[in-house]
Amino acid sequence: MARYIFITGGVVSSLGKGLASAALGALLQARGFSVRLRKLDPYLNVDPGTMSPFEHGEVFVTDDGAETDLDLGHYERFTGVPARNTDSVSSGRIYSDVLEKERRGDYLGKTIQVVPHVTNKIKEFIDIGDDEVDFMLCEIGGTVGDIEGLPFFEAIRQFSHDKPRGQCIFMHLTLLPYLAASGELKTKPTQHSVKELQSIGIAPDILVCRSEHPIPEKEREKIALFCNVRKEAVVAAYDLKSIYEAPLAYHREGLDQAVLDAFQISPAPKPDLTIWQDVADRIYNTDGEVNIAIVGKYVQLEDAYKSIKEALTHGGMANRVKVNVEWVDAEVFDTKDPAPYLEGYHAILVPGGFGERGTEGKIKAAEFARERKIPYLGICLGMQMAVIEAARNVAGISSAGSEEFDHEAGKKRFEPVVYHLKEWVQGNATVTRKQTDAKGGTMRLGAYDATLAKGSKVAEIYGSTSIEERHRHRYEVDVKYMDKLQACGLRFSGMSPDGSLPEIVEWADHPWFIGVQFHPELKSKPFAPHPLFADFVRAATETSRLV
């Protein structure tokens, strides 16, 4: 039976809950415990997959095809435990399930209320997999006091009451603002935040206090006294140069020990932090640096490409180099020559996206990388743009394009080298989709197998001819153009097991030019960098030494 840790955010600031949760999970693992992390999002009323990246940042996809909040990416990167669709729930999903049950008559005509029907549904979700792990960490999105979160706070209060005494604890993250004028840290926001939490029946066992400055002993004692927690349970969370220093930093401050003390686990196994010490060493002791351009359409919000940026950092760790990421707006190249903007970079990455906006710029970026022999990694739409560029400029299909752009414009303008995927195989079943289907959850989602060509660059990078990667897309490169493109030198080096769907392309005469239909960044971790990103950064490092 799992022990539960509920992580909540303070009135002033909830920033860093996801990181604190992930770091705590890593520390408990380092002590030999098994963990699973979950996100309860009171604010998300729709499917994350239907939201603009400008609204919600990156959509993180799990192996089983769930479209989730980007915090689950943190959980995976720090613990290595693959997330699944039961690890993320939104208020929209909870209310939808309750309404569906009511329509089926499951409530036998009773009046449906937030308590107990909505709260019971939340508790059912929290309890999934209770017997699988030692610790279940549940992060509640947002801040205490917000009206959206009240059903979730009531649910976790009830949940802790229902469980045996000592099986649930509450961890609350707050901010200690620093007033430069008086040169002091203010504890009053933390006191009021805890008071707000206590008013709804939840008393925190551990306080994690965000601070830019060291917390004096006097302030710790004051917080402990007025917030009714032990002084040892007031844990400082200082700003760090790298998020991957968080497990070591939280261990120094005693977070994992505070959790074990709250559960009265004594004696506890000593932590083995060798992995995280090695990660920190690779971050801060580098042998050089490389500059990589990400040519995308959501560059105004870096969280839209969160996993890509982290995967590049992991690739840097694998090569002991610092990766400097620069965000380049693809729309600039719609009207301008990319050369002045891209000449200073050692590699170019074109990520995924939806819609026609910025795609001509991405095509030009792929052309620039191909002609200049600069390492190029195209992900999802980035692969499709590389194929369209090859079709137009090498294979002589001047009107090559994607059905996606024609559907958006409402008229036919392109020869569809990339088409709307209507049927594919998933496991032992055939999945079908129509263009008129509702957008939410209708893509090719989750983990799929791929077969790599023997002797190809990707087979060498992976060290295997059989891989499994996560997908999220509606459009595919049309296999009927494969022979013509391969005759021009663009090798289709990865295919679906049945040979019907192209998964990877690479230029045979290029030092490093690879496009993948899947999202390798979703499986990269600091202690296990994804092979594609590790080798991409290696190629960029070689380019930097040639300049």
Catalytic positions, written as ranges:
380, 519, 521
Q: Is 57 left (phi over 0), alpha (psi -120 to 50) or beta?
A: left
- R_g of the chain, CA atoms, integer Å: 25
Cα separation, 73 vs 522, whole angstroms: 7
Cα separation, 78 vs 500, whole angstroms: 36
Strand bridging mode 347-350 / 3-9: unpaired
Place of tokens 């939340």: 122
Angle at which helix 359-372 crosses helix 381-393, to 10 degrees, equals 70
Q: Secondary structure of 290-305 in the HEC alphabet?
A: EEEEEEECCCCCHHHH
Contacts of 47 (CB under 8 A, 6+ apart): 67, 92, 440, 441
Length of the chain: 547
- Contacts of 79-83 with CB under 8 Å at 24 or more apart are 79/22, 79/25, 79/26, 79/29, 79/35, 79/37, 80/525, 80/527, 80/528, 81/25, 81/35, 81/36, 81/37, 83/37
Cα separation, 338 vs 112, whole angstroms: 58
Which residues pair with residue 89 across a beta bridge? 40
Angle at which helix 274-284 crosses helix 306-319, to 10 degrees, equals 90
Angle at which helix 17-30 crosses helix 246-253, to 10 degrees, equals 80
Contacts of 146 (CB under 8 A, 6+ apart): 42, 43
**Helices and strands (DSSP H and E) totals, the chain:** 19, 25
| Residue 388 · residue 380 · CB < 8 Å | no
- Residues of 76-103 as b/e, b for ≥16 C-beta within 10 angstroms? bbbbebbbbeebbbbbbbbbebbeeeee
Q: What are phi and psi of 402, to 5 degrees?
A: -125, 145
Cα separation, 397 vs 489, whole angstroms: 15
